[in-house]
């Protein structure tokens, strides 16, 4: 069963397996620190399916839910 970042609950932590999506998106996510093997934790979720804030490599980064779905954990 495949899971992605958008499946995490507040406070949950996971390791990144792969970064998908179109080339530009996956390249940008990796530049932000979402690389295979990195530990990521969900800090907050906006209501009604909005943005999600993750802590990765010491930084807090907000992603759209659709972009978070491209990162497999």
Residue-level pLDDT at 5: 95
Residue-level pLDDT at 2: 82
**CA distance linking residue 39 with residue 73, whole number of Å:** 9
pTM, entire model = 0.89
Please state whether beta strands 52-56 and 59-63 pair in parallel, antiparallel, or not at all (unpaired): antiparallel
Residue-level pLDDT at 16: 97
Domains annotated for the chain, with CATH where assigned, are 5-72 (2.30.30.90)
If pLDDT is split at 50, 70 and 90, which confidence band does 64 have?
Answer: very high
- At 4-55, the pLDDT tens digits run 999 999 999 999 999 999 999 999 999 999 999 999 999 999 988 899 999 9
**CA distance linking residue 25 with residue 67, whole number of Å:** 8
Q: What are the C-alpha distances in Å from 42 to residues 3, 4, 23, 27?
A: 14, 12, 24, 21
Distance of CA 28 to the CA centre of its chain: 12
């Amino acid at each position: 069963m495949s899971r992605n970042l958008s499946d995490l609950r507040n406070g949950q932590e996971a390791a990144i397996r792969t970064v998908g999506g179109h080339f530009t998106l996956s390249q940008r996510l990796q530049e932000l620190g979402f690389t295979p093997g990195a530990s990521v934790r969900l800090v907050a979720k906006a209501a009604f399916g909005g943005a999600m804030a993750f802590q990765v490599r010491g930084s807090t980064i907000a992603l759209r839910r659709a972009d978070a779905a491209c990162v497999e954990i």
